[in-house]
Every structure is written in structure tokens, then in C-alpha cells.
Amino acid sequence: MARTDDTDVYRLDILAADLELLPGVRTKCLTFGGSFVGPTIRAREGRRVLVTYRNWLSEAANVHLHGGHVPADSDGHPMQVIDPGAERLYEYPNKQPGTTLWYHDHSHHVEAEHVYRGMHAFYLIEGEDEHRYHLPCGDYDIPIAIRDAQFDAGGQLVHGDPRERNVILVNGRPKPYFRVAARKYRLRLLNSSTLRFLKLNFGSLPVFQIGSDGGLLPAPADRTGTEFPLAAGERVDLVVDFSGLAVGSRFMLTNQGQFTGNDEIEQVLRFDVDRTARDHSRVPDELRPLPELPPATVNREVKLSFDLTNQPIGLINGKPFDPDRVDQRIQRGATEIWTITNGDAATKYGPIQHSFHMHMTQFRVLDRDGRPPLPGDAGLKDTIPLPPGTSVRVQATFADYLGRYLYHCHMLEHSSAGMMGQMEIVD
Ligand SMILES: [Cu+2]
């Protein structure tokens, strides 16, 4: 890493690595920087980051900064890949509120498999205002990536039937434990699964939601005792208070299983309280005000569905992704309302879940089927669940950059099968 006055400069390799995910077993992974999860990049609001990725794989790959407001040629468009042996420079201006982003592969048709096999990592932007809130920081600010996986008898990852993905990995480890002090922690949770919806549960521990995908909320929301549903790619930023637990006690974060039976509660991450610690952090009454919501001038309808006649084909407004086709032309600076619908309420396989992710900008959820947004829809969002047969209205402003960006289902096997559209920001 190098630093100049206004820029942090990194080099990272995209490479295969044999890693110990399960105890005593080497698993072949595809990685950023040789680890699973890849290295966390810590950026600061207003300070540029340049990353040059060299691809040591025998196949093309690329990098998408999920939730980042970045120039189009640094966005990891599926057709802008890094060929084997080549490298590519990505520019991240970090001109957006501080938040929890992640980066992952987005190469055409294979993003699901690449992410599944390990190409994902955190990218944290620290806001200029962040020190003011006295949130837990340093050793008490922990990014946690949660996802499922299937391993064969030899310990190798199987990218097959998602219902067989019966191992939950937390930062790349099954059922790990984390030693905590009896105090407040900031936990940044990411669902890094390619398909699975999580429903995370902290039981009776005091939990405050302080942020969502795109940054801090205007005020913390007391979500003690509520579940945290997270679609693949979604994040939630929490302050969790362990101070009521005695030293020596343990606490289990659980998930309500999606594929293994509705009533099964999976153990995700055990917290072992092993010490006390001073805690000057706070859950303040107020956090960062949300940006103004300018009036929208354009309305669009976007419908996600499958063509299940033969091999499933993912569709948006009836068409599979075509990199040579622009589906929505958007004036730079425009504010728009998109009504996004899940058209798969009743397929021959039953109702099918989708999610929605927009590149280039963060949006706000206005309503769901005319009703108020869900608790998880609060704040600035880039990824939301889209249950079968439902519609959600979101509002976004497309500022600063020109060029082609994507919107798609973030169940990555669905986007790999074509459930993606292309927008072009024009003057
Ligand atoms: Cu989908």
C-alpha cells in the first residue's frame, strides 16, 4: 500500500488458494488476496482509493464495489473483465456517506460461482462525521460476513443445489466463537450468500440499528428482540450491548433456516464474554441526517421473473440481460421512482423469491404494495428483498457519472441466469 496526500493506493491479486475453512482440511478457493473472506479495505470519505487487481486465475474475473458510487469504468461491468494474467485499475472516489460496502466478482454468467468460491470482501468507508457519534470503534467495530456453503466428503466446495448448502460460514469459518468484552460493540453484518436469505436473531440482547446499506440512519432504532432478515448482499449496521452478560457467559447468534426446514434454528456465531472493558462509546440520540429527497420526474416499472419453459432464464421486463442493449436511459442528475415487482408469485415450482440491487447510487424505499416500508428498508439502500408477487417503490438520484451500470436480482444464480438490466446515464 502507498499513500499520497489525497489517495490510498493498493495492489491485490485475484488468485486460487487452498485454505483451511473446515478444521484440518484444505479447500480450493478463488480469492482476493489469498484469503476467504478477502482483505478488508478501509477507506475514508472524500479520500480516493485506487486498487490495481492482477488476475492470476486461468479465467476472466472482475471486481464490483457493491454499494459504491463510482465511475462506470470502475464499476465492474460484467463485460469489463480482467483477462488471465492481466491487471486493471479501479478508482473509488469515496464521495459518499461513510458506510459498510463489500466487493465481489461480477463477471458475466459466472459471478455466482466466483463469489460462492470465495471472491468477496469488505470495503468500509469511514464518514467525515463519524467521530462525532462516539460509536464503538477500533477493536470493537467488527465486520461479519455470513453465508452458506456445501462441502463434499473431501472438504471441497460444491456449487450445486442450494438446498444442500447446509454449512453457515462466518468470516469463512463454520460455527466460530468470538471473545468479547462485556461492553458495546458495533457489528456490521453482511449476508454474503449468493442466494440464501438470513433471518438473524440476537434474542434478548440489547440491539440498536444504526445504519443500513448506504450509511447511518438519522437516529438509532431500538431493535431489541426483533429479527434481522437479510437478502443476499444486504448489510445492517448494529450496536450490540453485551454489558448485561456476566464474564464467563456465552451468547449464540442464530439464524432461522431457510432451506433446512422452517423451524430449524441454526447456530451462527457464539460470543464468549471473557472480560470487562471500559466503554466510552454511546448510542447517541441522533446520527447522520439522510440526504434530501428531491422531487422525482420519471417513473419506471421493472419486473423480475423467470422463464421456466426449459433451462431457467432470468428476465427483467420479459428480457434476459443483453450487454449490447440499454434498457433504461437516465438523465444525469435525475431523480426517479422505480416500481419493482416480483412476477414469480405462482410458477410451476411455486412462488420464487427475488431481491433487487441497483448499481451506481443508493436509493430510498418509499413503500411496499402501498404499505409502509419494512424496518430493514430504512435509510439508504442498495439491496432489498422482493418477496414473491410483491412490489416495492424506490426513489433514487443518478448523480455525477455517465455510462452504463446494472440493476439486477442479487440472488446471484438468478443474475447469472440473465436477471439483469442495463441503464445508461446520459447528458
Ligand atoms: Cu432473483
Q: Which three cell numbers stand for residue 239?
A: 450496536
| Tens-digit pLDDT profile for residues 237-248 | 999 999 999 999
Kindly give the distance from the C-alpha atom of residue 419 to the centroid of ligand 1, in angstroms, as a whole number: 7
- Asked whether 103 and 82 are in contact (CB, 8 A), the reply is no
Kindly give the distance from the C-alpha atom of residue 306 to the centroid of ligand 1, in angstroms, as a whole number: 8
Closest CA to 359 of 114, 13, 71, 10: 71
Kindly give the distance from the C-alpha atom of residue 193 to the centroid of ligand 1, in angstroms, as a whole number: 13
Can you tell me the distance from the alpha carbon of 64 to that of 32, in angstroms, rounded to the nearest whole number? 12
Kindly give the distance from the C-alpha atom of residue 147 to the centroid of ligand 1, in angstroms, as a whole number: 17
pLDDT band at 266 (very low <50, low <70, confident <90, very high): confident
Kindly give the distance from the C-alpha atom of residue 347 to the centroid of ligand 1, in angstroms, as a whole number: 13
Average pLDDT value for residue range 114-139: 97
Kindly give the distance from the C-alpha atom of residue 13 to the centroid of ligand 1, in angstroms, as a whole number: 30
The SS3 of residue 217 is: strand
- Asked whether 314 and 409 are in contact (CB, 8 A), the reply is yes
Can you tell me the distance from the alpha carbon of 377 to that of 375, in angstroms, rounded to the nearest whole number? 5
| Tens-digit pLDDT profile for residues 267-285 | 999 999 999 999 999 999 9
Helix/strand number for the chain, H first, E second: 2, 31
Find the angle CA(124)-CA(71)-CA(91) to the nearest 5 degrees.
Answer: 55
Listed residues: CB within 5 A of ion ligand 1 = 354, 409, 411, 414
| Tens-digit pLDDT profile for residues 311-349 | 999 999 999 999 999 999 999 999 999 999 999 999 999
Phi, psi of 401, rounded to the nearest 5 degrees: -110, 150
Kindly give the distance from the C-alpha atom of residue 318 to the centroid of ligand 1, in angstroms, as a whole number: 13
Average pLDDT value for residue range 187-199: 96
| Tens-digit pLDDT profile for residues 14-48 | 999 999 999 999 999 999 999 999 999 999 999 99
Ramachandran quadrant class, 211 (left: phi over 0; alpha: psi -120 to 50; beta: rest): beta
Kindly give the distance from the C-alpha atom of residue 79 to the centroid of ligand 1, in angstroms, as a whole number: 20
The HSE-up count of residue 10 (CA atoms within 13 Å, CB side) is: 19
Kindly give the distance from the C-alpha atom of residue 367 to the centroid of ligand 1, in angstroms, as a whole number: 20
Neighbour tally for 350: CB within 10 Å: 9
- Whether 103 shows a pLDDT value over 80: the answer reads yes
pLDDT the model gives residue 264: 63
Closest CA to 41 of 95, 82, 102, 96: 102
Kindly give the distance from the C-alpha atom of residue 234 to the centroid of ligand 1, in angstroms, as a whole number: 14
Closest CA to 218 of 293, 281, 138: 293
| Tens-digit pLDDT profile for residues 52-63 | 999 999 999 999
Kindly give the distance from the C-alpha atom of residue 23 to the centroid of ligand 1, in angstroms, as a whole number: 33
Can you tell me the distance from the alpha carbon of 267 to that of 92, in angstroms, rounded to the nearest whole number? 36
Residues 6+ apart with CB under 8 A from 197: 191, 229, 230, 231, 232, 258, 353, 385
Kindly give the distance from the C-alpha atom of residue 46 to the centroid of ligand 1, in angstroms, as a whole number: 34
- Whether 263 shows a pLDDT value over 60: the answer reads no
**For the purposes of burial, counting CB atoms within 10 Å of the CB of 354, is it exposed (0-12), middle (13-18) or buried (19 or more)?**
buried
Dihedral, CA of residue 224, residue 229, residue 231 and residue 237, to nearest 10:
0
Kindly give the distance from the C-alpha atom of residue 199 to the centroid of ligand 1, in angstroms, as a whole number: 18
Residue in this structure with the C-alpha cell 499513500, named with its chain if needed: 3
pLDDT band at 262 (very low <50, low <70, confident <90, very high): very low
The secondary structure element, H or E, covering residue 395 is strand 391-397
Kindly give the distance from the C-alpha atom of residue 389 to the centroid of ligand 1, in angstroms, as a whole number: 12
Kindly give the distance from the C-alpha atom of residue 356 to the centroid of ligand 1, in angstroms, as a whole number: 8
Q: Which three cell numbers stand for residue 109?
A: 454468467
Kindly give the distance from the C-alpha atom of residue 146 to the centroid of ligand 1, in angstroms, as a whole number: 19
Q: What is the DSSP string of 65-77?
A: EET----GGGS--
Gyration radius of the chain over CA positions = 21
Please name the amino acid found at residue 146. Answer: I
- Whether 259 shows a pLDDT value over 90: the answer reads no
Q: What is the DSSP string of 254-283?
A: EEE-SSS-TTPEEEEEEEEEEE--------
pLDDT the model gives residue 256: 85
Kindly give the distance from the C-alpha atom of residue 192 to the centroid of ligand 1, in angstroms, as a whole number: 15
Phi, psi of 42, rounded to the nearest 5 degrees: -105, 115
Kindly give the distance from the C-alpha atom of residue 202 to the centroid of ligand 1, in angstroms, as a whole number: 28
Kindly give the distance from the C-alpha atom of residue 410 to the centroid of ligand 1, in angstroms, as a whole number: 6
| Tens-digit pLDDT profile for residues 135-160 | 999 999 999 999 999 999 999 999 99
| Percentage of the chain modeled with pLDDT above 90 | 95
| Tens-digit pLDDT profile for residues 202-221 | 999 999 999 999 999 999 99
Average pLDDT value for residue range 229-233: 96
pLDDT band at 131 (very low <50, low <70, confident <90, very high): very high
- Asked whether 353 and 197 are in contact (CB, 8 A), the reply is yes
Q: Which three cell numbers stand for residue 61?
A: 474475473
Residue in this structure with the C-alpha cell 433446512, named with its chain if needed: 260
Please confirm whether the linkage preceding 394 is cis (ω < 30° from 0).
Answer: no
Kindly give the distance from the C-alpha atom of residue 90 to the centroid of ligand 1, in angstroms, as a whole number: 28
CA dihedral over 231, 237, 243, 244, signed as positive or negative: negative
